[in-house]
Amino acid sequence: MKGRTIILDHIRDREAAALLVDGKLDDFLIAADAPAPGTIYRARADRPVKGQGGMFLATPDGPAFLRQVKGLAPGAPLPVQVTGYPEPGKAIPVTAKLLFKSRYAIVTPSAPGLNVSRSIKDEDERDRLQEIAHDEMGGSDFGLILRSACAGADAEEIAEDIAQMADLAAQVLQDSEGAPKRLADGDGPHVQAWRDWTDPAEVVTQPGGFAEHGVLDLLDDALSTRAPLAGGGFLFIEPTRALVAVDVNTGSDTSLAAGQKANFACAKALPRALRIRGLGGQIVLDLAPMAKKDRRGFESALRAALRADSEETTLAGWTPLGHFELQRKRGRVPVSEVLR
């Protein structure tokens, strides 16, 4: 099966979405029990955390934690937005910088200015989009970012998207007083797929689409602890409570050349492997043996692969034992936890 296919279906009564590229599972989203990233609360300041510059907040869905906050008195209400899924036993991570995000537009109440995605290079197209932005947001105190999906899109659809996000932002910010309350839900997998998987694709929405297109079998293979690498070798990906351990194995060939080959294949394959599994937090790579002079090339290959990834990932660097560490945003719930 060639090309891109987006399939919207359900697994165990949970909403889910799969992206197939040339018949290979490239991305997967599934609804979780925890509040989805993007959820907005009117929270209440509870207690500060000394030495960390943060504050625990009360929300209808349990305690939340806001980092780097100043001048917020206990008991004060404030709007906050969920930024990711919490670690087990920890508070919901939130931010006070709200974003109202759709397919074409991101409205930014705390960051004024009208901007067009840098990935849109054509000057005529940028001018067209700037005109649409000014028509819809002229006189507003809110900021706006027009996303890369706007390139070539219908002007009325873009304008409608902007208006909906601006109206939602105004509605949420006006509802500032009172007890803790959920003001807006984060997007579920189907809306998130429409919002973020914007490249041309066939879209399948009828029930049973996962079974018909082999998604369930592909998902079983993708969630295996062992993941094959192009050209030989494989990864072992094992989440623990503290971190995600990734072991790069060359198989029967233990030469330095095989180690370098497997490590560079790991750099290319790792973002997809983590994305499909919904894994984040601390990632530790136990790489195959390779010469130190090849480390910079490995980092460049990994950085290039992560540019197109949906989750923000920071390259933390090498440890004294030769492991490589990443810090990845917990923007998804681990799929194995949802389906266990």
Distance from C-alpha of 313 to C-alpha of 106, rounded to nearest angstrom: 21
Count of other CB atoms within 10 angstroms of residue 304 = 11
Tell me the pLDDT tens digit for each residue of 241-280. Answer: 899 999 999 988 888 899 999 999 999 999 999 999 999 9
What residues have CB less than 8 Å from 4, skipping those under 6 apart? 19, 20, 21, 199, 200, 201, 202
Q: How far apart are CA 266 and CA 274, in angstroms?
A: 11
Q: Average pLDDT of 3-14?
A: 96
Contacts of 309 (CB under 8 A, 6+ apart): 271, 275
pTM of the model: 0.91
pLDDT tens-digit series, residues 107-161: 999 999 999 999 999 999 999 999 999 999 988 999 999 999 999 999 999 999 9
Q: What is the 3 state secondary structure string of 74-107?
A: CCCEEEEEECCCCCCCCCEEEECCCCEECCCEEE
The pairing of strands 92-95 and 62-66 is: parallel
In terms of Cα–Cα distance, which of 77, 112, 75 is closest to 96? Answer: 77
Q: What is the pLDDT of residues 60-99, one digit of tens each?
A: 999 999 998 887 889 999 999 999 999 888 999 999 999 9
